[in-house]
Structure 1
Amino acid sequence: MSNVLSYRGYYATVEFDSEEGLLCGSVVGMSDGVYFEVETAAGVESAFHEAVDDYLSFCKEKGKQPEKSYKGSFNVRINPDLHRAAALAAAVRKESLNQFVADAIAAAL
């Protein structure tokens, strides 16, 4: 069982809106807003697929490059002491800070 939907390289999460009685989903990992709503759990996946397909069609129609989820870069704000320690540890290992952080994340997952 997973709480994340996947389709065509896009990912979405779904929450229940108790006031409206709807399941509300949103594509995550991108700044363009792609949302969907559905009344039943059985319709969640098809509503997600339709939302992604509509987004891609809209982008094509407007000549806009569709945004992709998780491009592989992100900003992280951490304590300066932790930043310095990580940078020094990376230097000792003769690797970039990016590689050091990627290895640390992989180890944590």
Structure 2
Amino acid sequence: MNVMTVDGYHAKIEYDEELDLFRGEILGLNGGADFYGKSPKELRTEFKKSLQVFLDVCQEKGLAPRRNFSGKFNLRISPELHERLAIEAQAQGKSINTLAQEALQERVAS
């Protein structure tokens, strides 16, 4: 996945073949904001503009621009994987939660 970052905000970048433009969608917002550009430079400029418009609207309406995350989510896995995770966690002297956090952190670290 292609991600562009501006001022601590992240956007997923995809190519829209129909429009022959790159499309960015800003992630983690309390609403939707997207932008388009022909080149990386134009895309970054449009990202900044779209983000500023979104932030201005949030300020006018008294809304927090970023979604809040509780730090909790449910994950459904097969009983076999659950058993393997439990055994691995016990072998390492860790909880399944700790083992899962470490694996997820490693996955998104890049």
Give the TM-score normalised by structure 1.
0.72
Larger RCO: 1 or 2 (CA < 8 Å, sep 6+): 1
RMSD across aligned positions (CA)? 3.0
8 A Cα contact 1:13 1:26, kept in partner: yes
**Counterpart of 1:10?**
9
Q: 1:75 to 1:50 in 2, by over 3 A?
A: farther
- Residue 67 of structure 1: SS of its match in structure 2? coil
1:50 alignment counterpart:
49
Aligned AA (2:4): L
Give unpaired runs (5+ residues) of structure 1.
none
**Which residue pairs with 1:100 in the alignment?**
99
Q: TM-score, normalised by structure 2?
A: 0.71
**What are structure 2's unaligned runs of at least 5 residues?**
none
Q: Tell me the secondary structure at the aligned position of residue 83 of structure 1.
A: helix
Pair 1:33 & 2:32 matched: yes
Q: Go from structure 1 to structure 2 and tell me whether the alpha carbon gap of 1:75 and 1:52 turns closer, same or farther (over 3 Å shift).
A: farther
CA distance in 2, matches of 1:37, 1:69: 26
**What is the SS of the residue equivalent to 1:19?**
coil
What is the CA-CA distance between 1:39 and the residue it aligns to?
A: 3.6
Aligned-partner Cα distance in 2 for 1:27–1:41:
15
Distance, in Å, in 2 between the alignment partners of 1:79 and 1:47 is: 43
Q: 1:32 to 1:71 in 2, by over 3 A?
A: farther
- Taking only the aligned residue pairs, the percentage that are identical comes to 31
Alignment length (residue pairs): 108
2:26 counterpart SS class? strand
Displacement of 1:92: 4.6
- 2:13 aligns to what SS in structure 1? strand
Q: Hey, what does 1:62 align to over in structure 2?
A: 61
Distance 1:65 1:104, change over 3 A: same
Residues 73 and 67 (structure 1), Cα distance of their counterparts in 2 relative to 1, 3 Å cut:
farther
